[in-house]
Structures are given as C-alpha cells and as structure tokens.
Amino acid sequence: MKLNTNSNTYILAYASLLVIAVAFVLAYFSQTLKPIQDKNVALDKKKQIIAALNIRDVNDNQVEEYYNKLVEADEIINEKNEVLSAGKPGGENDGFKLNGGDFKAGKLALFVCNVDGQKKYVMPVYGMGLWGGISGYIAINADKETIYGVYFNHEGETAGLGAEIKDNQKWQQQFCGKHLFADGNQDAVALSVCKKVDNPATQVDGVSGATLTCDGVTRMIHEGLGKYLVFLKDK
C-alpha cells in the first residue's frame, strides 16, 4: 500500500517524531554542555571574588591559582555569626555554592582570605538596580571596619550609565580605604554611594547620570552587610 504523506495521520506522526528527535538532541547537548557551563559559572564567581581583592586582568589559569592561594576558607555563617560550615582552602563546596536565595534565607557566605600575610574577609551582597538585579563582593580588612576592595555586577543596567558600577574599575577603586561605620556607631552600616559627598570617610561619589542605580548599590550595601553586623562587631 502506498503511504499517503498528505494524510492527517502521517503529518501528526511525522511531527511527533520530529519533536521527540529534537527534544532528544537538545537534552543530549544540555547534559553534555552542563559541566562546561558549570565550570564557567564557577570561574566567573572566582574572578569576581579575587577582583574584590584588587586582582584583575588575569587569565583563567591565574584566576584558579589566585583563588586557591588567597582563599583560606569558604565559610558559611548565619546572622548570629554562628559557623554553619567551616569551608576549606580554595573551597568550592560550602560558602562558594551559596546564592542570593541562600542569602535571603540567612545562610551567609564568608570568604576568609590571606593577602600578603594580611587577613581579609570577602562577603557577597545582592540587590536591585534600575532595570534588574545587581550584586557584588566586598572585601574588608582585618579590622572589620575598612574596605580593602569591591567588585560589583549587574544584569541589565544602562551602558555608559548604571553599567559603570561594573565596567568602571576606577570608580570601584574609590571604595578602597572607606569606613563601614560612622562616628563609632556599629549598629548600622554607613558606607554609601552619594550624589554629593559630605563625609569622605564613608561616602563614595556616585556615577554621573545613574542616581537610581547608585541608590540601589547603597541599599544593597546597607542591607547586605547589615546581615553581617554581628560578625563585623566581633573584633
């Protein structure tokens, strides 16, 4: 019997087989590429962490080397400064694995680092900019009061304006040496991004034309580091 390729049955069967074949191919490539994608995501996170430690413009191999060399532990703590997981040197399975959802739930990543024999602490922060999510890593000195370095990222801020929080390294460098607290008050983080700087010790000049994004950075710093207050007060 000659196959009727114009029949509804044939067309439906052909379309169904085609959908199954495409789904199989997509699933195969998804599973095949997932380890590569996961590795790239982890590499980018390490790059951001060491950028907060003022190490930039390095190749992928150097990123791995610096992360393993500088990070003594990827701890997990809570807002009471209780250690939930001690982490490991160059760790990737404890604090490193946490994300914004874990942060909101009270599980806080704390990267304990050593730079040229000096203790540094790197903490992630999450917030909202003008057009979408923003995030960052803030490195503080052993005194738990002054900034060693920062790195900020964004999902969709305007190029040349809000996107400068990520793209403008010179702007990020303004944070170095700033104080977390004002007038000895450790009950609230004072570090802020401002349109007009009145207190140079705790304020950073904002990005021109990106007031709302900079306001988001300030909220992110206050709310994010606010979760670490007990840790920051523990000298």
User: What is the DSSP code string of 64-116?
Assistant: HHHHHHHEEEEEEE-TT--EEE---TT--SSGGG--HHHHHTT-EEEEEEEET
Residues 204-222 have a mean pLDDT of: 95
Per-residue pLDDT averaged across 16-32, rounded?
77
Rounded to whole angstroms, the Cα distance separating 107 from 88 reads 17
Mean pLDDT of 58-74: 97
Contact in structure between 171 and 207 (CB atoms under 8 Å): yes
**Residue holding tokens 């403008």?**
168
Q: Is the pLDDT of residue 1 over 80?
A: no
- On whether the CB atoms of residues 74 and 111 are closer than 8 A, the answer is yes
The CA-based dihedral angle spanning residues 150, 217, 163, 53, taken in that order and rounded to the nearest 10 degrees: 10
Q: Answer for the pair 227, 79: CB distance below 8 angstroms, yes or no.
A: yes
Q: Does pLDDT of 108 surpass 80?
A: yes
pLDDT at residue 18 in the model: 81
Please state, in angstroms and rounded to a whole number, the distance separating the CA atoms of residues 108 and 142.
18
Residue 126 near residue 93, CB atoms below 8 Å = no
Q: Is the pLDDT of residue 37 over 90?
A: no
For position 158, what pLDDT does the model report? 86
- Strand runs (DSSP E) across the chain, as ranges? 71-77, 83-85, 108-115, 118-128, 133-141, 147-154, 192-194, 203-205
Confidence tier at 104 by pLDDT (50, 70, 90): very high
Q: What is the pLDDT of residues 149-188, one digit of tens each?
A: 999 999 888 888 889 999 999 999 999 999 999 988 899 9
Residue 53 and residue 139 in contact, taking contact as beta carbons nearer than 8 Å: yes
Q: Residue 2: which pLDDT band, with cuts at 50, 70 and 90?
A: low
Is pLDDT above 90 for 12?
no
What is the percentage of the chain residues whose pLDDT exceeds 90?
Answer: 77
Mean pLDDT over residues 102-111, rounded? 97
Pairing relationship of beta strands 192-194 and 71-77 according to DSSP bridges: unpaired
3 state SS of 142? coil
pLDDT of residue 5 exceeding 70, the answer is no
Q: What is the pLDDT of residue 186?
A: 92
